[in-house]
Amino acid sequence: MNTFVIAEAGANHDRKFDQALKLIDVARDAGADAVKFQTYSSETLYCKNTPDFAEYKNVNKLIKSIELPREWQKDLKTYCDDQNIEFMSTPFDEKAVEELVDIGVKRLKIAGFESTDFRFVEMVASAKLPLIVSIGIGFRDEHLPQLMHVCSKYTQDITLLHCNNAYPTPIGQANINKIKWLRRTTKHTGAKVGFSDHTVSTLTPALAVAKGATTIEKHFTLDRFLKGPDHSFALEPQELSQMISNIREAEKTLTDLTPNKLSKSEESFQYARRSVVSKTKIKEGDVLTKENITTKRPYDPANSIAASEFGSILGRTASRDYREDEMI
């Protein structure tokens, strides 16, 4: 199993090109598979008269101050290619989709706030690239069939990310059991399922992987105390590394679903199991009873009877002589 880990830089470049490059370096060094930015403009994202909400004041001015300069995208993609990490960016308008397709991105992402705007979803999906969609605020169970219908017209490579759109998300509201519901509900579609995590925990994504997430997305920053709306709930470099290490460890616990198969590390410990042994001297033809047989360690897979078979051999006759304390 290989979880696809997206290190979400978002707006944490602060419109400084060197800072954007440093974010890419951090994501690469932490072991992320992709680093993702966001491509939007205040004019196409919010109405001019948008009121203040949450902690956001003068929303249009704020968005303008954190836009990714679009002329950077090609250079950031080239730098990512050189660093052997995938470049991604979430598009928020039609021009952004065209720009990202033109520079050769491998996949597109739809943000949670946009996942019920099916006009927008279809516009992004029509690029016919693998698609990752966050299932976020306002998304109801009945929206899922329509979302899948729109996306599957253009691509069969669809990943749905369970997402809580609170920044940060309290641990108690992460609800990673939703991943199991998504897997069960979309099983017939072939869609993959993941987790876009907005908690500040380095452990929650690993727990999501244990629940079946195949993609993890997580915000990160160079410094949580930098100014800007996305820094405060993002992981710092060492935390991002720890998170990915936790994910890789979780993957190792899920490597084999074959029932009853021993792991390589267990094979040498088989001898610590119990087998059926003679309690007293037994002669050929004697009936095996609780008085003359018992169970003890060790167990030899090739030359002994497992303790679990004790009841089934009671009443049988010995096929040969046994010394006291000898494996039957």
Q: What is the pLDDT of residues 25-48, one digit of tens each?
A: 999 999 999 999 999 998 998 888
Strand partners, 39: 91
Q: Is the pLDDT of residue 261 over 70?
A: yes
Q: What is the pLDDT of residues 223-257, one digit of tens each?
A: 999 999 999 999 999 999 999 999 999 999 887 66
271 pLDDT band, cuts 50/70/90, is confident
Q: Is the pLDDT of residue 263 over 90?
A: no
CA distance 324 to 328: 10
Beta strands in the chain (DSSP E): 4-10, 34-39, 86-91, 108-110, 131-135, 158-163, 192-197, 215-219, 275-278, 293-296
**Burial (Cβ within 10 Å: 0-12, 13-18, ≥19) of residue 108:** buried
3-state secondary structure of 294: strand
* Predicted TM-score (pTM) of this structure: 0.84
Q: Is the pLDDT of residue 259 over 70?
A: no
CA distance 292 to 223: 72
| Residue 166, pLDDT score | 86
Beta strands in 40-166 (DSSP E): 86-91, 108-110, 131-135, 158-163
3-state secondary structure of 244: helix
| Residue 301, pLDDT score | 87
54 pLDDT band, cuts 50/70/90, is low
269 pLDDT band, cuts 50/70/90, is confident
According to the CATH classification, is domain 4-252 in 3.20.20.70? yes
182 pLDDT band, cuts 50/70/90, is very high
Domain definitions of the chain by residue range? 4-252, 264-313
